[in-house]
Chain A
Amino acid sequence: MSIKLESNTPEGPIEQKWDSHRFSMKLVNPANKRKYQVIVVGTGLAGASASASLAELGYNVKTFCIHDTPRRAHSIAAQGGINAAKNYPNDGDSIFRLFYDTVKGGDFRAREANVYRLAQISNLIIDQCVAQGVPFAREYGGLLDNRSFGGAQVSRTFYARGQTGQQLLLGAYSAMMRQVGLGKVKLFPRREMLDLVVVNGQARGITVRNLTTGEIESHAADAVLLATGGYGNVYFLSTNAMKSNVTAAWRCHKKGAAFANPCFTQIHPTCIPRSGDYQSKLTLMSESLRNDGRVWVPKNKGDSRPPQQIPEEDRDYYLERIYPSFGNLVPRDVASRQAKFRVDEGRGVGPTGEAVYLDFADSIRRLGQKAIEAKYGNLFQMYEKITGENPYEVPMRIFPAVHYTMGGLWVDYNLQSTIPGLHVLGEANFSDHGANRLGASALMQGLADGYFVIPYTLGNYLASQDLPKIDTDHSAFQESQNQVRARLDQFFSINGSKTADEFHRELGQLMWEYVGMSRTAEGLTQAQEKIAKVREEFWQNLKMTGQKDYRNDELEKAGRVADFLELGELMAKDGFDRKESCGGHFREDYQTPENEALRDDQNFCHVGAYEYLGQENNKITWQRHHEELSFEYVKLSTRSYK
Chain B
Amino acid sequence: MAGTTGKTLNLKLRIWRQSGPDKEGSFVDYEAKNISTDASFLEMLDVINVELVKKGEDPIEFDHDCREGICGSCSMVINGSPHGPDRGTATCQLHMRRFQDGQTVVVEPFRAKAFPLVKDLAVDRSSFDRIIQSGGYISVNTGNAPDANSLPVPKENADMAFAAATCIGCGACVAACKNASASLFVSAKLAHLALLPQGQAERDQRTLKMVAQMDEEGFGACTNTGACSAACPKEISLENIARMNRDYAKATLKDRKTSV
Contacts and interface: CB of A to CB of B under 8 A. Distances in A.
Chains A and B touch each other in the complex, with CB atoms below 8 Å apart: yes
Contacts of A52: 142
Contact of A77 (B56, B66, B145, B192): B66
Nearest to A385: B93
A468 interface: no
Contact of B65 (A74, A126, A279): A74
Contact of B158 (A126, A135, A386, A550): A135
B133 interface: yes
Contacts of A501: 46, 50
B53 to A, nearest CB: 5
Given A352-B4, A386-B93, A281 B136 contact: no
A69 B129 contact: yes
Interface in B59-109: 59, 61, 63-73, 88-89, 93, 95, 97
B155 A278 contact: no
A318 B49 CA distance: 43
Contact of A71 (B52, B155, B169, B193): B169
Contact of B148 (A127, A277, A553): A127
Interface residues of A, number: 86
The secondary-structure label for the interface of chain B is loop
Given A135-B158, A174-B132, A174-B138, A275 B38 contact: yes
Given A133-B192, A275-B36, A283-B68, A177 B129 contact: yes
A177 B59 contact: no
B2 to A, nearest CB: 6
Interface stretch (A138-146, A297-305, A458-466, A532-540): A138-146
Contacts of A67: 65, 71, 73
A77 B71 contact: yes
B67 A69 contact: no
A68 B126 contact: yes
B17 interface: no
A143 B152 contact: yes
Interface in A549-564: 550-551, 553-554
Contacts of B149: 86, 88, 143-144
Given A67-B73, A140-B155, A551-B61, A189 B126 contact: yes
A335 B122 CA distance: 40
A278 B46 contact: yes
Contacts of B193: 133
Contacts of B137: 132, 174-175, 177-178
Contact of A388 (B43, B97, B140): B97
A147 to B, nearest CB: 15
Interface string B110-141: 00000000110010111011001111111111
Given A86-B148, A133-B199, A167 B162 contact: yes
B153 A166 contact: no
Nearest to B148: A130
B146 to A, nearest CB: 7
Contact of A554 (B38, B59, B169): B59
A494 interface: no
A278 B39 contact: yes
A280 B196 contact: no
A553 B159 CA distance: 39
Given A88-B149, A170-B165, A178-B133, A72 B50 contact: no
A452 interface: yes
A493 interface: no
Given A138-B155, A139-B155, A242-B65, A278 B1 contact: yes
Contact of A141 (B69, B138, B141, B152): B152
Nearest to A161: B162
B68 to A, nearest CB: 5
B5 to A, nearest CB: 7
A128 B73 contact: no
Contacts of A403: none
A243 interface: yes
Interface in A135-187: 135-144, 160-161, 163, 166-167, 170, 173-175, 177-178, 180-181, 187
Interface-centre pick from A88, A126, A132, A160 (highest chain B CB count, 10 A): A132
A156 B147 CA distance: 16
Interface string A301-339: 000000000000000000000000000000000000000
B225 interface: no
Given A135-B161, A385-B89, A279 B145 contact: no
B227 to A, nearest CB: 22
25 contacts: A68-B122, A68-B126, A71-B169, A72-B66, A72-B72, A76-B168, A77-B71, A130-B198, A131-B140, A143-B149, A144-B149, A163-B166, A166-B168, A174-B136, A177-B133, A275-B38, A276-B36, A276-B39, A277-B1, A280-B40, A283-B68, A381-B88, A382-B69, A452-B142, A545-B59
8 nearest CB pairs, A to B: A142-B152, A131-B145, A276-B3, A174-B137, A135-B162, A127-B145, A181-B133, A351-B4
Interface of B: 1-5, 19-20, 35-36, 38-40, 42-44, 46-47, 50, 52-54, 56-59, 61, 63-73, 88-89, 93, 95, 97, 118-119, 122, 124-126, 128-129, 132-149, 151-155, 158-159, 161-162, 165-166, 168-169, 192-193, 196, 198-199
